[in-house]
Amino acid sequence: MSTHFTRRNVAKLAAAGTLVGLSETTGVAQISQGTDTRTAQVPTREFPKGFYWGTATSSYQIEGAWNEDGKGPSIWDTYAHTPGNIQNGDTGDVANDHYHRYKEDVALMKNMGANAYRFSIAWPRIFANGTGQPNPKGLDFYNRLVDELVAAGIAPFPTLYHWDLPQALQDKGGWQNRDTTKAFADYAGYMADKLSDRVHHFFTINEFRSFVDMGHQGMDVPISGGTMHIALAPGLKLSRRELNQVRHHAVLGHGMAVQAIRAKGRAGTNVGPAEVIELAVPLIEAPEHIKAAEIATRERNAPFLTVMLEGKYTDGYLKEQGADAPKFTDDELKIIGSPLDFVGINVYRPLIYVLASDQLGQVSGSWREIPFAKGHPKMFNQWLTLGPEALYWAPKFVQSLWKAKEIHITENGCASDDVLVDGDKIYDTDRIVFLRSYLTQLQRASADGVPVMGYFQWSTMDNFEWTSGFGNRFGLVHVDFKTQKRTPKSSALFFRETARQNVVA
């Protein structure tokens, strides 16, 4: 039904006796015309009431103060201090100096109309060596940050691990060593105890796939005249078998942290992961292709989201990995599958497009991967293939596959070649087009009844983009890294208006 039903004309129809029923929750209206009673979708453009409009950052990318107030070194300090690892030799030593400027940054978010903020806690600020005696000054920083946020009406959503493992733990084997899972759970429980009077949502780990696979194996990418190895800290090159064990330890650490947070947090503390979903998108929206994409998504996420949400590795994954499959016990699987309050997913792009294969029935043969066309539009980053419908299908599949109670989009955004015009204006039209088209798809999922309750734009402000250093600007706010001047971009206005109206602006 293409008629545009606003709340007002729905009321008119009802008054004229043509509207015979309207469901507030689904937006479905029953319209009667003569003897013909049809069901039509009232096209609400709104997001749910109480929706969290947030922005996101992480500790190493913005805090700076890398060795202040008793903080121990992390693997990212070590990695960035090693020549050749980061573009232009950039480091997070100072980054956005957020450690000292957090009040200004909270005020910026308030001006952008955000009612939520996803940040991460630097584990080595709290436990310099990963375990042992906590560092009161480190905790004090997060207490002050949380207080500032709450006073500004911004709900704090901390992530406990956004990749900055204490170097002292790496020296003992890092995530290869099963003891790291216990150290992580102890630290998570400690934070829940200290913050859950004001913090009601904790994310355990950010992007398992990225820090595990890229940090422990890396990837060779073709460049003119050869290949280039790209990696994240700690920059190891493990075998497939060793990598699978690290993957297993990461999800086990998550499950143990969930249990520790439940044990130590106040009643009403919510917990979930923030994983980058490996999303298969149906190239064509027809039932058989949608089913194929759903099956592919479940398989592609087998070592991370799927095992966390199902408490078991898929047969396909175990078979594919063969003798290299992780070693695990049933008890570990139970811990990994600990019940969650919500699922956080980072969504930037469709990983693959798929169509149903002719051999439906066998898991591995039930979808066909369709290559991206050469001219497929990309954002400033070559890896960021445009695919707004990813923000529809990702939450949709998380709901259909795993019946998630609540879903948060923990990251979405793009870098742009932002330039200052007239000294203080940044017209980032590309970012606005990107956000608008993705958010329209998210709203579509919400209107379908998918329980999406939060959206965190990456990123609050330009920051240290890992191996790209300061060259990739993902922020809604521009940062001059020489002067630390913050300047909101046009996209910050777009975000504010969207949050204010609770509708894509």
Residues annotated catalytic, as ranges: 207, 411
Q: Which residues on neighbouring strands pair with residue 488, listed in sequence order?
A: 477
Distances (CA, A) of 490 to 191, 215, 476: 36, 35, 8
- Residue least distant from ligand FCB (Cβ): 207
Return the number of the residue (164 or 332) whose C-beta is nearest ligand FCB. Answer: 164
CB of 342 to ligand FCB, least distance (A): 18
Residue 456 to residue 440: CA distance in whole angstroms = 15
CB of 236 to ligand FCB, least distance (A): 19
Return the number of the residue (164 or 341) whose C-beta is nearest ligand FCB. Answer: 164
Total interface residues for ligand FCB by CB under 6 A? 12
Residue 88 to residue 484: CA distance in whole angstroms = 18
CB of 103 to ligand FCB, least distance (A): 23
Q: Which stretch binds ligand FCB (CB under 6 A): 11-19, 204-212, 358-366, 489-497?
A: 204-212
Q: Within 13 Å of residue 192, how many CA atoms lie on the same side as its CB?
A: 26
**Which of 90, 164, 207, 418 is the binder for ligand FCB (CB under 6 A)?**
207
User: Around Cβ 386, how many Cβ atoms within 10 Å?
Assistant: 18
- Residue 468 as a binder of ligand FCB (CB under 6 A): the answer is no
CB of 158 to ligand FCB, least distance (A): 14
Dihedral of the CA atoms 40, 42, 45, 46 (nearest 10)?
-130
Residues in region 396-455 near ligand FCB by CB under 6 A: 411
CB of 61 to ligand FCB, least distance (A): 6
Return the number of the residue (61 or 135) whose C-beta is nearest ligand FCB. Answer: 61
**Which of 52, 127, 342, 458 is the binder for ligand FCB (CB under 6 A)?**
458
- Residue 474 as a binder of ligand FCB (CB under 6 A): the answer is yes
**Which of 465, 467, 488, 498 is the binder for ligand FCB (CB under 6 A)?**
465
Q: Which residues on neighbouring strands pair with residue 221, listed in sequence order?
A: 228
* Per-position x/- string for 220-259, each x denoting binding to ligand FCB as judged by CB under 6 A, each - no binding: ----------------------------------------
CB of 464 to ligand FCB, least distance (A): 9
* Per-position x/- string for 337-366, each x denoting binding to ligand FCB as judged by CB under 6 A, each - no binding: ---------x--------------------
* Per-position x/- string for 362-401, each x denoting binding to ligand FCB as judged by CB under 6 A, each - no binding: ----------------------------------------
Q: Which stretch binds ligand FCB (CB under 6 A): 139-147, 205-213, 277-285, 478-486?
A: 205-213
| DSSP states along 165-227 | -BHHHHTTTGGGSTHHHHHHHHHHHHHHHHHTTT--EEEEEE-HHIIIIIHHT-EEEEETTEE
Tokens of 263: 């044990």
CB of 493 to ligand FCB, least distance (A): 21
| DSSP states along 333-364 | HHHHT---S-EEEE--S-SEEEEE-SSTTSGG
- Residue 332 as a binder of ligand FCB (CB under 6 A): the answer is no
What DSSP element (H or E) covers 326? none
Return the number of the residue (194 or 431) whose C-beta is nearest ligand FCB. Answer: 431
Return the number of the residue (190 or 481) whose C-beta is nearest ligand FCB. Answer: 481
CB of 458 to ligand FCB, least distance (A): 5
Residues in region 265-294 near ligand FCB by CB under 6 A: 276
- Residue 466 as a binder of ligand FCB (CB under 6 A): the answer is yes
Return the number of the residue (125 or 349) whose C-beta is nearest ligand FCB. Answer: 349
- Residue 206 as a binder of ligand FCB (CB under 6 A): the answer is yes
Residue 418 to residue 220: CA distance in whole angstroms = 29
For residue 390, give every residue at least 6 positions away whose Cβ sits within 8 Å of its Cβ, in sequence order, or none. Answer: 279, 281, 347, 348, 349, 350, 438, 441
**Which of 78, 129, 210, 490 is the binder for ligand FCB (CB under 6 A)?**
210
- Residue 464 as a binder of ligand FCB (CB under 6 A): the answer is no
Distances (CA, A) of 412 to 51, 73, 422: 16, 29, 29
CB of 213 to ligand FCB, least distance (A): 12
Are 31 and 20 a contacting pair, CB within 8 Å?
yes
Closest CA to 165 of 191, 194, 130: 130
- DSSP symbol at 467: G
Q: Which stretch binds ligand FCB (CB under 6 A): 27-35, 202-210, 245-253, 437-445?
A: 202-210
Phi, psi of 409 (to 5 degrees): -85, 105
For residue 346, give every residue at least 6 positions away whose Cβ sits within 8 Å of its Cβ, in sequence order, or none. Answer: 206, 207, 274, 275, 276, 277, 409, 410, 411, 412, 458
User: Around Cβ 89, how many Cβ atoms within 10 Å?
Assistant: 11
User: Around Cβ 370, how many Cβ atoms within 10 Å?
Assistant: 16
Q: Which stretch binds ligand FCB (CB under 6 A): 187-195, 203-211, 432-440, 493-501?
A: 203-211
CB of 465 to ligand FCB, least distance (A): 5
Residues in region 39-68 near ligand FCB by CB under 6 A: 58, 61
Are 262 and 271 a contacting pair, CB within 8 Å?
yes
Phi, psi of 276 (to 5 degrees): -85, 110
- Residue 159 as a binder of ligand FCB (CB under 6 A): the answer is no
| Chain residues that interact with ligand FCB, rule: CB under 6 A | 58, 61, 206-207, 210, 276, 346, 411, 458, 465-466, 474
